[in-house]
Structure 1
Amino acid sequence: MKQVQTKRDWKKLAYDVVEEKMITKEDAIAILEADDTEILEIMNAAYIIRHHHFGKKVKLNMIINTKSGLCPEDCGYCSQSIISEAPIDKYAWLTQEKIVEGAHEAIRRKAGTYCIVASGRRPTDKEVNHVIGAVKEIRETTDLKICCCLGFLNEDQAGRLAEAGVHRYNHNLNTHANNYESICSTHTYDDRVDTVQKAKQAGISPCSGAIFGMGETIEERAEIAFELQRIDADSIPCNFLVAVKGTPLEGQKELTPVECLKVLAMMRFVNPTKEIRISGGREINLRSVQPIGLFAANSIFVGDYLTTAGQEPTADWGMIEDLGFEIEECAL
């Protein structure tokens, strides 16, 4: 049988990264453009970096959607936007009691981080106070790390969330700056960067990632990873577009499982010390190769997403155990 020759020495590149040498944009593009037959070599190389920094630990995160739909923004990928015709549940804020109950469910699912998410452009001060009330009770009764994703923040709101004990704030860049106007017209790319910076300035760990497969070029896909490096996101969710019927992007071709794996590997090479999470679209886009993704990523969501279903927690626990990996509980 003819041996497949790889075009690059991916292991050497990985060991260079372990020795704190940054890869170039050309290297990142090469990962994304590599022949599919090289995917196992690439994932093996990504694992060298992942294992060096995180060993066999996998972080579990759980989302609670505290306010669903009713969003005035026109993000083309989102089933909760004002222009979406997707049949989703729409409701105003959950009570503080429900939010706290969700935290205890997160513990039952072996999650270490609990993500409080609300749709909308930005929270009012009253809504921030509502979240803070729940956060304080969760902090008093659990060891969970708390992440919030509430939209744009001003400096005062970011400061109050930090004071209440919010560990992390999620605000994704979503796509490349060049591609932003094609997916949203009601706010700008710079608006999103500004909120990430405000959270960081308040002392909250910044969580920011992207949704891949929204029409960005391969070069832009690589540049997103370097932009996340530039803004120093501590946690990087890698979402893969789920083309939801009733949204403007419903006809967009979704990424293949191997394309998703290349994104995860590339992100690990560019951001070697950061938490990289396989996020939205994991079950739908990666399908049967989900376990391979954890050779680059070190974090997943457990349970459902905002408006799409995830797999059962027991399936995720089993996947992690089958890989010989370990769940890292209550860890940021």
Structure 2
Amino acid sequence: MSTDQSTATVTDGFVPVIDLSARGSSTGRAAIAEAIGQALRNSGFFIIVGHQISPELIDRMFSVTNSFFKLPEEEKDLVASRPGVSGYRRAGGTLARSLDQKTPPDLCETYAAHVTGELSDEERLKLGDQWASWTHRNVWPKNPAGFQQAWREYMAAMSELAADLMRLFALALELEEDFFDDKFDHHGSSVAVNYYPPQLQPPLPGQLRRGPHTDFGSLTILYQEDDRGGLQVLQGEDNWRDIAAIPGSFVVNIGDLMALWTGGRWVSTMHRVINPPHGDTTSRLTIPFFYLPNHDASIEPMRPFTDSSAVERFDTVTVSDWVSRKVQKIFS
């Protein structure tokens, strides 16, 4: 795997593997929460196994989504994102812009759907009028068959898993387990799949499949293909670490909003998706689920900021203000 800076595969616990199998018992939850807290203080990333998400659902979600991206452009454009609608984008924006970095556009197509995109027009009007994707309705392709059903089932399964991870987060922070519940009771979460097309010509200088960025919500649950590499997380100033895909696992990381919420005690870490080695013209597909609090939730750091905290500091910020500002930078 060729990169412009030093790399190493994560093998020493920087991004630990955490088994959720024992989360049904109080002692198991306590041990899992302790492991999660350590990971989020250290790298902001961990890998979960034993999550009980159906392998059949994951396979079906991957299959229909991959088939969609292989359709002709004119057919994908029938469900293109546009004002008030979430769907397909030929270009996935430039994620580095969310951190005010100037790079060429990411080499990525996307398709996004939101939990709130299934609400009625009247219900979505209650979600505010900011430049925010959670106010959009979802638009679904007719092909391949089963696409809409698989996506709805996957969003529901991810929402349930993410809600329990937030309860484990609360335990890790020595809070009541239901501390976060009322901040997510009408959450604006989304599945925003990344499709990285075959690279048939050299990328521009500094152009990657996904440029260096931090996520900006509370947590992300990512599925990546077992036999495709590319995801890297930054350790220190210039040590990019490969995160290999473990069969049956998900990669979990927190975003800037969660780091703010903890007063910088937990870290939102820079990551990127690098280009394949020269001559490798395979495509790659990843399925991230972004768990986002209610649009009108007011986020206040639960503890004073640490002196070493690198997060953007606010006394209080609403989720809608925070996210809409970040998203506008990406697609400006």
Same fold (TM over 0.5): no
Sort the TM-score into its range (normalised by shorter chain).
under 0.3
Q: TM-score, normalised by structure 1?
A: 0.28
> More strand per residue: 1 or 2?
2
> More helix per residue: 1 or 2?
1
